[in-house]
């Protein structure tokens, strides 16, 4: 998939589940549960033992049905290994220009991490197209994202860290392009206890929350315009 294709898929789905599985089989079970809930994206982090093998197995099993990416990618070598394994996008906790270049050379999307305005500007200068705002929940959550968007109204932010069903709508209303969701969605304890349905139900609830929040956000400007027009009559 092209870089723009990956961006479009992330935009449409609105949720990037972060999986820290202990094996390829566990990752596949997690993907099954998430996909059943309507989310066709997965991010396998490099903190998982032999993550490239898991990425390769997920890609082999799901093909283009699931947009498979690698997370916690911190070096160009890791980037190359993940892309070789079939990762369509790379996510980093911070900015690594060498990771961005490795992804660009392979025609794949790289999403660097940023938190402050200075870090966002540095990533923009390096050519980043999407930005992981991490750890967003620790510095104010949706309120922080809204404040960060003030000087960067056109930049596409994916808040990650502390994002869950309770605050998902608030993040969308604050201007999030998509949401990065970890353990609050990918509940591996539930999976290991043969309760994969909990993950599926949470995925479905998050999809509904994001869709409703987006519809509400789109409706508000129209309502404001109508109110303004009515006042001019």
Q: In whole angstroms, what is the distance from residue 221 CA to residue 228 CA?
A: 10
pTM for this model (two decimals): 0.92
Query: Residue 230 pLDDT > 80, yes or no?
Result: no
Query: Residue 229 pLDDT > 60, yes or no?
Result: no
Sign of CA dihedral 132, 133, 134, 135: negative
Query: Residue 223 pLDDT > 60, yes or no?
Result: no
Residues with catalytic function? 43, 132
Strands (E), the chain: 15-19, 41-45, 67-71, 89-91, 109-111, 113-114, 131-133, 157-159, 179-181
- Encoded tokens for 32: 């099954």
Q: What is the mean pLDDT of the chain?
A: 93
Structure-model confidence comparison of residues 223 and 172, the more confident one: 172
Query: Residue 227 pLDDT > 70, yes or no?
Result: no
Secondary structure element (H or E) that encloses residue 203, with its range: helix 196-232
pLDDT digits over 182-199, tens only? 999 999 999 999 999 999
Domains annotated on the chain, with CATH: 3-232 (3.20.20.70)
Calculate mean pLDDT across residues 203-222.
Answer: 90
pLDDT digits over 138-178, tens only? 999 999 999 999 999 999 999 999 999 999 999 999 999 99
Q: In whole angstroms, what is the distance from residue 41 CA to residue 8 CA?
A: 12
69 beta partners: 43, 89
């Amino acid at each position: 998939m092209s870089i723009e294709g990956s961006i479009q898929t992330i935009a449409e789905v609105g949720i990037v589940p972060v999986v820290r599985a202990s094996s390829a089989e566990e990752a596949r079970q997690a993907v099954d549960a998430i996909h059943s809930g309507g989310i066709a994206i997965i991010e396998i982090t490099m903190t998982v033992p032999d993550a490239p093998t898991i990425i390769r197995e997920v890609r082999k099993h799901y093909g283009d049905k699931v947009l498979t990416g690698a997370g916690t990618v911190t070096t160009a070598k890791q980037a190359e290994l993940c892309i070789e394994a079939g990762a369509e996008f790379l996510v980093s906790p911070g900015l690594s220009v060498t990771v961005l270049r490795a992804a660009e050379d392979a025609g794949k999307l790289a999403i660097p991490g940023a938190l402050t305005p200075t870090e966002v500007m540095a990533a923009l200068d390096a050519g980043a197209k999407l930005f992981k705002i991490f750890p967003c929940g620790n510095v104010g959550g949706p309120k922080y994202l809204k404040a960060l968007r003030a000087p960067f109204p056109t930049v596409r932010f994916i808040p990650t860290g502390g994002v869950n069903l309770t605050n998902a709508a608030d993040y969308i209303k604050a201007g999030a392009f998509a949401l990065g969701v970890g353990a609050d969605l990918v509940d591996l304890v539930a999976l290991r206890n043969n309760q994969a349905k909990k993950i599926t139900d949470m995925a479905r609830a998050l999809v509904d929350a994001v869709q409703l929040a987006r519809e509400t956000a789109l409706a508000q400007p129209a309502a404001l315009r109508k109110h303004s027009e009515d006042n001019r009559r």
